[in-house]
Amino acid sequence: MYETIGIWVGAFFTLAIYSFLYKENPIYRLAEHLVVGISLGYTMAITYDITLKPRLIEPLLSGNHWILLVPAVLGILYITRFIPGIAWLSRYPIAFLMGTAMGVSFPLTLKTDVLRQLEAAMQPFYMSGMPWHEIFGNIVMIFGTLAALIYFFFSKPHKGLFFGTGSKIGIWVIMLGFGATFGFTVMGRISLLIGRIQYLLGDWLHLIE
Amino acid sequence: MSAVSKWEKMLNLDRRWIFLAIGIASIVPFLIGFGMPISTTAEVESIFDYVNGLDKDNAIFIGFDYAPGTQAENTPMGVAVLRHAFHNNVPVFITAYQPLGHGMALGALEYVTNPAIPGFYQSVSFEEWADLREAGITDKDELIASWESDGNALPEGAKGWVFEGRDFAMLGYAPVFSLVILGMTASIENQFPQDANGNPLIEMPMLREHKSLREVDLAFTTSGSSACRSWIVYGREKIGLPVAFGVTAVMATDYYPYIQSGQIIGQMGGLRGAAEYEVLLFENGITETTDKAFTGMDVQSAAHLLIILLIVMGNIAFFAGGFHKKTALKGRG
């Protein structure tokens, strides 16, 4: 019974959101506002139920984890942003979080996104016995990377054989990348539509399995 | 007022006709079913082969790191890997990067263990097998034998038993998940003293055998945001944890460099990636049918054909009407 009601509610709001494709209307706006409100409410409930209650409130009430008062007070200081006289206190938890996050993530992010990628780009593009398509792929990757980097080098005018031609090839490489991303984006958007149609035709109308 | 040519009419077509055409192209293939074949790609095969090489002595993490907005793409990926792991008796820790992902993870687990869905796995809650656990029976084969000798029969159509705490642990969401990953490199239990159902992790056999991410063999994150990067930054680069991605199509191109650099085992890109995994599961006899992602690929092909047709028609109208020589179309500001 409750499942059936849930499916009908889901179907109604799916159609309500898609009604925007015809034109803006009050039913669409109602659905949009409900999405925002329910998502926030759900997030708050989940955060309390599986984070605040078992990780902070219950340990504190048990009387054995007084150290948890430190993060609790820091967390409460966030709320002081809403009280103009003491709003400056909210800077402390923000500073703590930013400092910690930077310290922890900076070396690992540098390794992940710079050093490893450089390492991967410094492979020999030809070795004995390597299949031709791999050699071709390596050449495209190396020259494509160099051309794209030349395009983003702004300290010299993009003229002449090296900077002029290089940047022109670079923009083509970048455009090919954008094209691939756009193709994937179209696929992604259609996938989301497919998910909703599967719900409407399957779960709601039972026209498909 | 000058007459509007047919080319201008084409270029000024009311977009609602295009929406309607896409809608029809997306519904009809579901009803007719073309059954177009799907070939598998190396980046998905590598994930499949890796998971296929694992068994009950290994353990994996599946991160449901997305919100309902990308459920259509991400859920089939998580479901497919979850089924594969259950088939091979690989223990699975289930996590979520964000609060809404917690609901997504619960939904995927319920789907795989739902008796109404073909090829389901019969779930046994942590409480139900407490006696066997206290008797020290935690090996999967011994556990099944003891459980069935107690009079429990596998329901018709079920692919097997999955025991909470032995085969899966629903850890769920935890705040600032990047730092949770970092913390789990030292101890999973410190970050999750209990699972989402309130069961203490320390009593779970799978936790006793895999105390930290250093003792885990794979983190598969199905993600609709850059959340998946955290698994590389804090898991892969810090302790060498093998990582695989299941990402939305929009994000797929951003993460191909990680495949080429060898930082991730493989990647499922969008619904297509999930469909490929479903095909691999089916072809290897792990599932008896393919699932929702595969079914959706007929529609994907039809919609893409229509979009290609519209792009070609738009370009023909643009050049045939001579608009490449003009600064603006008539009828537009």
Tell me, what CATH number does B228's domain have?
A: 3.40.50
Mean pLDDT over all residues of chain A?
93
> Region B130-148: what's the mean pLDDT?
95
Contacts with B198 from chain A: Cβ below 8 Å? 54
Surface of B (170-189) touching A: CB under 8 A:
172-175, 178-179, 182
The strand pair at B168-173 and B92-96 is best described as: parallel
Check whether residue B328 and residue B308 sit in a common domain. Answer: yes
How close, in Å, is residue B99 to chain A by CA atoms? 5
Share of chain B above pLDDT 90, in %: 86
Q: Tell me, yes or no, whether A195 lies in a domain.
A: yes
Two structure tokens written together for A86 = 């003491």
Q: Tell me, yes or no, whether A121 lies in a domain.
A: no
Q: What ipTM goes with this model?
A: 0.85
The count of CB pairs under 8 A between chains A and B is 136
What is the 8-class DSSP label of residue A16? H
Report pTM.
Answer: 0.90
Cross-chain Cβ contact A191/B72 below 8 Å: yes
CA–CA dist B159, B163 (Å, integer): 13
Neighbours of A47 (CB within 10 A): 15
> Residue A199: which pLDDT band, with cuts at 50, 70 and 90?
very high
Q: Is the predicted pLDDT of residue B328 greater than 70, yes or no? A: no
A150-154, A156-160, B30-34, B324-328: least confidently modelled range? B324-328
pLDDT on residue A116 = 94
Collapse the DSSP code of B284 into the 3-class scheme (helix H, G, I; strand E, B; otherwise coil) and give the result: coil
pLDDT on residue B333 = 45
Check whether residue B105 and residue B235 sit in a common domain. Answer: yes
> Which domain covers residue A193, as residue numbers?
131-209
> Region B303-328: what's the mean pLDDT?
89
Neighbours of B17 (CB within 10 A): 9
A49-53, B19-23, B25-29, B168-172: least confidently modelled range? A49-53
Check whether residue B22 and residue B113 sit in a common domain. Answer: no
Reported as a single tens digit per residue, the pLDDT across A59-105 is: 999 988 899 999 999 999 999 999 999 999 999 999 999 999 899 89
Which residues touch A90 (CB under 8 Å, ≥6 apart)? A77, A78, A79, A80, A81
Check whether residue B21 and residue B110 sit in a common domain. Answer: no
Q: Tell me, yes or no, whether A113 lies in a domain.
A: no
Reported as a single tens digit per residue, the pLDDT across A12-38 is: 999 999 999 999 999 999 999 999 999
Sheet (strand B168-173) strand order:
B168-173, B92-96, B60-65, B218-223, B243-247, B267-269
> Which domain covers residue B201, as residue numbers?
41-290
Check whether residue B152 and residue B286 sit in a common domain. Answer: yes
Q: Is the predicted pLDDT of residue B2 greater than 60, yes or no? A: no
Q: How many domains does chain A have?
A: 1
pLDDT on residue B220 = 98
Nearest CA in chain B to A199: B72
Cross-chain Cβ contact B26/A193 below 8 Å: yes
Check whether residue B286 and residue B304 sit in a common domain. Answer: no
Query: Among residues B36, B76, B48, B84, which one has the least CA distance to residue B293?
Result: B76
Q: Is the predicted pLDDT of residue B240 greater than 90, yes or no? A: yes
Q: Tell me, yes or no, whether A107 lies in a domain.
A: no
Neighbours of B248 (CB within 10 A): 29
pLDDT on residue A26 = 97
Check whether residue B19 and residue B46 sit in a common domain. Answer: no
CA–CA dist B255, B43 (Å, integer): 11
Q: How many domains does chain B have?
A: 2
Nearest CA in chain B to A192: B72
Contacts with B303 from chain A: Cβ below 8 Å? 190, 193
Q: Tell me, yes or no, whether A117 lies in a domain.
A: no
Cross-chain Cβ contact B99/A177 below 8 Å: no
pLDDT on residue A114 = 94
Q: Tell me, yes or no, whether A178 lies in a domain.
A: yes
CA–CA dist B92, B219 (Å, integer): 10
Which residues touch A197 (CB under 8 Å, ≥6 apart)? B26, B27, B30, B299
Burial of A15 (0-12, 13-18, 19+ CB in 10 A): middle
Check whether residue B238 and residue B311 sit in a common domain. Answer: no
Check whether residue B48 and residue B20 sit in a common domain. Answer: no
Query: B69 and B223 in contact (C-beta within 8 Å)?
Result: no
Q: Tell me, yes or no, whether A170 lies in a domain.
A: yes
> Region B163-184: what's the mean pLDDT?
94
A198 at interface of B, judged by CB pairs closer than 8 A: yes
Check whether residue B17 and residue B141 sit in a common domain. Answer: no
Give the Cα-Cα-Cα angle B244, B98, B213 (nearest 5 degrees): 45
Reported as a single tens digit per residue, the pLDDT across B245-267 is: 999 999 999 999 999 899 999 99
Reported as a single tens digit per residue, the pLDDT across B92-133 is: 999 999 999 999 999 999 999 999 999 999 999 999 999 999
CA torsion angle B189 B199 B160 B155 (round to 10): -170
Check whether residue B231 and residue B255 sit in a common domain. Answer: yes
Check whether residue B240 and residue B135 sit in a common domain. Answer: yes
Two structure tokens written together for B123 = 């779930």
B194 at interface of A, judged by CB pairs closer than 8 A: yes
